[in-house]
């Protein structure tokens, strides 16, 4: 897979999942990696940025299988942004597909 495809789209993937329920960082990596490549070195800085931009907020929760998990919960602001981002993605990918199949 072209690693450059991920650029900018991973943010949307993370937000799209967090719009459905709370996740902790490691869980996001595991879930997303079933669909596209992602590494921990990508997700943690991304989550920090999303927190700074107030799209999500965090809380800690104990775990029986390791250190405490940092969960991410989406804000109302984040939900709105996510919906716009997904709409942009749909438009974008539709346009790219048109361009690829263009008769020139």
Q: What angle do CA 23, 46, 8 make, to 5 degrees?
A: 110
List the single partner that 42 binds among DNA, a second copy, none, CB under 5 to 8 Å by kind: DNA
Q: What does DSSP assign to residue 73?
A: E
For residues 92 and 94, which CB has a smaller minimum distance to DNA in the complex? 92
Cβ-based burial of 42 (10 A; exposed 0-12, middle 13-18, buried ≥19) = middle
Give CA–CA dist 5/80, Å, rounded.
Answer: 24
Are 23 and 59 contacting, i.e. CB atoms less than 8 angstroms apart?
no
48 binds DNA per the rule CB under 7 A: yes
Are 81 and 14 contacting, i.e. CB atoms less than 8 angstroms apart?
no
Q: Applying CB under 8 A, which of residues 25, 29, 35, 57 lies at the interface with a second copy?
A: 35
45 binds a second copy per the rule CB under 8 A: no
52 binds a second copy per the rule CB under 8 A: no
Query: Applying CB under 8 A, which residues contact a second copy?
Result: 1-9, 11-13, 16-17, 20-21, 31-32, 35-36, 85-86, 88-89, 91-93, 95-100, 102-104
Query: Applying CB under 7 A, which residues contact DNA?
Result: 3-4, 6-11, 24-27, 37-42, 44-49, 63-67, 69-70
């Amino acid at each position: 897979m072209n690693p450059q495809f991920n650029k900018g789209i991973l943010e949307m993937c993370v937000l799209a999942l967090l719009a459905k329920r709370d996740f902790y960082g490691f869980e996001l990596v595991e879930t997303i990696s079933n669909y596209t490549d992602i590494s921990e070195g990508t997700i943690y800085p991304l989550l920090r940025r999303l927190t700074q931009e107030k799209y999500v907020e965090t809380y800690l929760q104990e775990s029986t299988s390791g250190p405490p998990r940092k969960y991410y919960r989406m804000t109302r602001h984040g939900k709105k942004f996510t919906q716009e981002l997904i709409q942009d993605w749909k438009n974008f990918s539709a346009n790219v597909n048109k361009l690829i199949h263009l008769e020139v």
